[in-house]
Chain A
Amino acid sequence: MNQEVLEKNLTVVEEDICIRENLVYERPSTLIDIEMHYCPGCGHSTVHKILMEVVQELGIQNDTIGVAPVGCSVFAYHYLDVDMQQAAHGRACAVATGIKRVLPDKYVFTYQGDGDLAAIGTGETIHAANRGENILVIFINNGIYGMTSGQMAPTTIPGMVTTTSPYGRDVEVQGHPLKIGELLALLPGVCYITRQAVNSAANVRKCKKAIKNAFEYQKRKLGFSMVEIVSNCPSNWKMAPVESNKYVENTMIPYYPLGDIKVPEVK
């Protein structure tokens, strides 16, 4: 094809399909249009997107305050177009408590990794849940410390290789993975605990619905909600993105079964 024909074809193609009526997907306006620092295929970016879709759909952008503690998603405030606070490692639930108590009519969420929420911040998590803080916790369970490049997390499953469990997690030595969702579900202050994933299109849709539910419960002041998302870390799992999603499906989800763990009594 010579240059002229090529340009003509391209023009034709552009004219034919690149029009608004044909759009099947748009990035939510609540997600800032800049390149993300997440590794290719990382679940963090997918969760950011659906979280912000929900914020947009509920029309709560101006009434939402997010908390991003230390972990790979500490820079979430660069992407999420809502007021945000960066928190110290593990302290997101305490920071969110401070915010929610002084601004009870705002929507408050935290966005925490497993090391953050279930190791260094276990105390803050349990007590915020037990006080029934009316907040939403987005909990990214990727079974590893992503940001610090691949150490064992409290959620690392038995046998899983990390840089600090190079022979696979040995529960005799390193203890058992912490199923914090099930643990929190026991507390009366907790209204909603669900475990979701974003490794397939179907799961992404379900996960988004769960996040939406949680915001609706918060609006109704029902108490503490947590959406746990079984996610991946292709870089530190040393897998290609597709392979890592298969690992989520075949290895992580059997250990961390998806679905609601606790739902509000009065729906």
Chain B
Amino acid sequence: MGEKKLMKGNEALAEAMIRAGCDAYFGYPITPQSEVLEYLSREATKRTGMVLIQAESEVAAINMIYGAAGCGKRVMTTSSSPGISLMQEGLSYIASAELPCLLANVNRGGPGLGTIQPAQGDYFQSVKGGGHGDYHLLVLAPYSVQETVDFVKLGFELAEKYRTPVMILSDGAIGQMMEKVELFPQIERVPDRGFPWQTSGKPINGERRYITSLHIQPEKMEEINRRLQAKYKKMQEEEVRFQSMQIDDAEYILTAFGLVSRICMKTVQLGRAKGIKLGMIRPQTLFPFPIKQFAEIAPKVKGILDVEMNAGQMVEDVRLAVEGKTRVEFYGRMGGVIPSPEEVLQHFEQTFL
């Protein structure tokens, strides 16, 4: 049993990063995730000696990540929506150069400077690549402070397993709320992970290594693309994570990720109390998306209501997954407004009953 604490989402995230044996963090302040850098500034270096830099911008931060990840180190950055937008070029390079790293996007409302309130409008820029070219981040969507902590550890493991950038997509509410968490014990930092590709000085009896995303021969660039796509296919086969609730006898499915799934859990209860057979599916990985699970349930139900704090982003993936085998409707609030369970139920009843 790990240590139990009452912690704020962002601070728990930072604590998990330290405990995961992270070697370096590079980041730039932005609400609603500035507590991460603040907490690390107080705790990180003195406890594990990890490197910590407040970068001059998110652009610089993600490129520092590139450099340190390229040396085979366990590295992480965090930001929120506008900052993630600035990181997209760097993320494309990182994905192409196949460098493992972890980032967290504590989503706030947009577009533009938007609002500091929680939102889910970054599904597209997180799940669909976000930068230029054909690539994906592996995206984990926690719905609680506890899951944020667990996903830090898992995220580093997946990043290293697949040599890929992994994103934890949470939101301002999960970042700011306080909950009880069980923390995993401190994992020692590894002085040298000894990856064959890491640029840590040419081995005395070996070849020099170089990290690049530049391949001007089209055939070579296509080969790299094929390698990336094969990796994404493997993730699709092996890394899909989701949670379902009362789906066995369900006539209708609510689906949501992150914060909204908590609201929908309550809606399921409210519906069941009224005799409506509601169930819920909560994707924990947004990429890879639980395509198979939606495809399987679709012919068994009368409809799916996808609820998000945006104008309808994940719903596109739900629709693709069910291939028209059931009716898929959407309900969303935007700009930082959090829907209530009653409101979701009411919308459900108006739409489906």
Interface residues of A (CB under 8 A from B): 61-65, 67, 74-75, 77, 81-88, 91, 94-99, 101-103, 106, 123-124, 127, 131
Q: Are B202 and A124 in contact (CB under 8 A)?
A: no
Known contacts: A62-B204, A84-B208. The answer to whether A98 contacts B65 by CB under 8 A is yes
Known pairs A88-B93, A101-B24 / 19 extra A-B pairs, C-beta < 8 Å: A62-B202, A62-B203, A63-B201, A65-B201, A67-B67, A74-B214, A82-B202, A83-B200, A85-B67, A88-B89, A94-B55, A95-B64, A95-B70, A98-B26, A98-B70, A103-B71, A106-B200, A123-B57, A127-B56
Chain A's nearest CB lies how many Å from the CB of B184?
A: 23
The count of residues in chain B whose C-beta lies closer than 8 Å to any C-beta of chain A is 39
Docked pose: A67 CA to B93 CA in angstroms: 14
B180 close to chain A: CB less than 8 A = no
Q: Are A106 and B65 in contact (CB under 8 A)?
A: no
Residues of B within 8 A of A83 (CB): 199-202, 208-210
Residues of B within 8 A of A74 (CB): 214
**Residue-wise interface mask of B (90-123) relative to A, using a CB-CB cutoff of 8 A (1 in contact, 0 not):** 1001000100000000000000000000000000
Docked pose: A123 CA to B202 CA in angstroms: 30
B19 close to chain A: CB less than 8 A = no
Q: Are A94 and B71 in contact (CB under 8 A)?
A: no
Q: Are A88 and B63 in contact (CB under 8 A)?
A: yes
Docked pose: A102 CA to B67 CA in angstroms: 9
Residues of A within 8 A of B201 (CB): 62-65, 82-83, 103, 106
Known contacts: A94-B67, A102-B73, A103-B200. The answer to whether A85 contacts B210 by CB under 8 A is yes
Q: Are A102 and B60 in contact (CB under 8 A)?
A: no
Q: Are B202 and A81 in contact (CB under 8 A)?
A: yes
Known contacts: A96-B67, A98-B68. The answer to whether A85 contacts B199 by CB under 8 A is yes
B187 close to chain A: CB less than 8 A = no
Docked pose: A159 CA to B231 CA in angstroms: 52
Q: Are B199 and A99 in contact (CB under 8 A)?
A: yes
B245 close to chain A: CB less than 8 A = no
Known contacts: A62-B204, A83-B210, A86-B213. The answer to whether A98 contacts B66 by CB under 8 A is yes
Q: Are A77 and B212 in contact (CB under 8 A)?
A: yes
**Residue-wise interface mask of B (198-222) relative to A, using a CB-CB cutoff of 8 A (1 in contact, 0 not):** 0111111000111111100000000
Q: Are B202 and A98 in contact (CB under 8 A)?
A: no
A124 (CB) vs chain B CBs: closest residue: B60
Q: Are A61 and B202 in contact (CB under 8 A)?
A: yes
Residues of B within 8 A of A124 (CB): 56, 59-60, 63
Residues of B within 8 A of A123 (CB): 56-57, 59-60
B216 (CB) vs chain A CBs: closest residue: A75
Selected contact of B71 from candidates A77, A88, A102, CB within 8 Å: A102
Residues of B within 8 A of A86 (CB): 97, 210-214
Q: Are B200 and A85 in contact (CB under 8 A)?
A: no
B53 close to chain A: CB less than 8 A = yes
B67 (CB) vs chain A CBs: closest residue: A98
Residues of A within 8 A of B69 (CB): 98
Selected contact of A65 from candidates B57, B64, B66, B199, CB within 8 Å: B199
